[in-house]
Chains A and B, each alone.
Chain A
Amino acid sequence: MSQLTVEDVTKIYPGHSASDEPVLALDDVSFHVEDHEFCSVLGHSGCGKTTLLTMMAGFEQPSAGSIRVDGKPVGKPTWQRSVVFQDYALFPWMTVHDNISFGLEMKGLAVAEREEIIRRHIELVGLGGFEKRYPHQLSGGMKQRVSIARALAVDPKVLLMDEPFAALDAQNRALMQEEMGRLLANSDIEQRKTMILVTHSIDEAVILSDRIIVLTRRPGRVKANVIVDLPRPRDEESPEFIALKRQIRDLIHDEFEVER
């Protein structure tokens, strides 16, 4: 329930040794994400999109420019910007229940309140009955559900997702995208979090997003800032959907040609 502004963000990684050239990962990236908006950052692998998310979370600092949430520059990582990782990053020694509970304990919530929130979020991601399982007893799709529930449970201002479905097999990925789409369609707009999704999947971006930021190939610059104004849940067969997909595919393919 917050706005996120990325302004003139540049990220340079110093070379590993003196002879190594510094690497320009992101070059002067700016965009603005509105309240309750679902924004995808779309680009080829290596375009610096994950770097951008890392800086939004506060794990790294931009070399120049600023990232602000509700006008305030982001500092250290906090639950107000929780992250869903590609490799789930679930705590293997905690059950599903305890993984979701962790952030709530860190916030210092009382047990009763915690249990209520955990119950609600386990229901939300459809994991009822699996509370006592350990992560290694779950499939990839289920792990990612836990990870999403864990990140949402702390009630962040912004939810950051780093290729959350990329590690899943094709069927599971499609299913998760669909469920996420349904979640977005059903939830009250005022209740919805501002969400950032980093992805290389055009389909995923078009199914889920209100806004798509297309990044260029190395170094990452903003190639296009596309508003997606299709009704939810999105009909993947509709001519508008297909046209938009084609438009974005062309943008992305351009980049591929440039590279060659």
Chain B
Amino acid sequence: MTTGVTTGITTRVTPMPRPPGLLWRAFGKLRRLALMAVLLCIWQYVSLRVLDSTSRTLLPPPTLIFTAAWELISSGELLRHARDSLKREMVAFLWASISIPIGIAMGWFRIVDEQLDAIMEMLRPIPPLAWIPLSILWFGIGDEQNQFIIFLGIFFPILLNTINGVKGIEPNLIRAARCLGASEAQILWRIVVKAALPQIVTGIRIGLGVGWMALVAAELVGANSGLGFLINDARTVLRTDYIIVGMASIGVIGLLLDQLIRELGRRLLPWSRGMDR
């Protein structure tokens, strides 16, 4: 750098935009909710002013729904049903995690793949819900039947993702491990399982989502508790407000579950950049 040389260059310094204030930022966040607020207002108006009292039962105004939500929360009923549903989901997940070793074996050992592939391909396209009649005969109404349906929902996404994760490993990673002196067992435990982990976590995320959907359906027909039971039970006594609160809870919990696994993946696998998808 010599002096005087830079005279020919015009640098236009744009002033850095000031960081927006707290109020402005809050407004920015709120702005996204504008349409939703308008829709809620329209809903409220339609329900109260346009509908007659009979139809209003079918579409209660948001204010009534918030009241119903408060009722269900303060009485502890919502929490109890949510807890029962989540417990079923977790038990089913524990059982379904057997798909991880099966998937690793199918992805890594050709003979296991050959034998299991046909069976899995036959079972996989059957939606979990199609198992409901048979499962009711097998397990009766209750936790086991519900867990079985959820298990089916969780099992296959994890299995398929695990197999793909193992089969998709960079061949050179395996070669590198071999020429650094790793034995076959060490390659399986220290390379294959590790390399497939991000995809296994993705499988768990998808699986829990599918399982959660299957759970609600299973509870609709074969349970005495849980969020699916709650909304079906509310239907028999025409409590539309409870139904909507139950539906919203199912959505919120499903979302939280997904976020939780995402966050766990990010924390536990900081080296993987594929965790955001």
> Which residues of A line the B interface, CB within 8 A?
57-59, 76-79, 81-83, 85, 87, 89-94, 102-103, 106-107, 134-136, 150-151, 154
Contact = CB atoms under 8 A, between A and B. Distances in A.
Interface string B167-204: 00010110111111111001000110011010000000
Contact of A83 (B179, B191, B270): B179
Given A83-B176, A89-B173, A91-B191, A106 B270 contact: no
B271 interface: yes
Nearest to B172: A89
B162 to A, nearest CB: 16
Contacts of B271: 92-94, 134-136
Contacts, number: 70
Chain B CB within 10 Å, residue with most, of A83, A107, A151: A83
Given A106-B181, A107-B181, A92 B272 contact: yes
Contacts of B190: 102
B180 A93 contact: no
B32 interface: no
A154 B179 CA distance: 10
B179 A106 contact: no
Nearest to B191: A91
Contacts of B269: 93
Contacts of B29: none
Contacts of A57: 175, 179
A11 B209 CA distance: 50
Interface in B7-55: none
Contacts of B180: 79, 82, 102-103, 106, 150-151, 154
B273 A136 contact: yes
A82 B273 CA distance: 28
Contact of B179 (A78, A90, A134): A78
Given A134-B270, A135-B271, A91 B173 contact: yes
A89 B170 contact: yes
A103 B269 CA distance: 22
Contacts of A77: 175, 178-179
Contacts of A106: 180-183, 186
Given A79-B181, A89-B172, A91-B194, 10 more contacts: A59-B175, A76-B178, A83-B175, A85-B176, A89-B175, A92-B271, A93-B271, A93-B272, A102-B190, A136-B271
Interface residues of B, number: 23
Contacts of A78: 179, 181
Chain B contact residues: over half helix, strand or loop, or mixed?
helix
Contacts of A85: 172, 175-176
Contacts of A151: 179-180
A82 B179 contact: yes
A107 B269 CA distance: 27
A53 B176 CA distance: 13
Give 6 nearest A-B pairs by CB, closest first: A103-B180, A106-B181, A79-B181, A89-B172, A77-B178, A89-B176
A209 B175 CA distance: 26
A150 B180 CA distance: 8
Contacts of B273: 136
Nearest to B194: A93
A98 to B, nearest CB: 10
Contacts of A94: 271
Contact of A103 (B181, B195, B197): B181
29 contacts: A57-B175, A59-B178, A59-B179, A76-B178, A77-B179, A79-B179, A79-B180, A79-B181, A83-B175, A83-B176, A85-B172, A85-B175, A89-B170, A89-B175, A89-B176, A91-B191, A92-B271, A92-B272, A93-B197, A93-B272, A102-B180, A103-B180, A106-B180, A106-B181, A106-B182, A106-B183, A106-B186, A136-B273, A154-B180
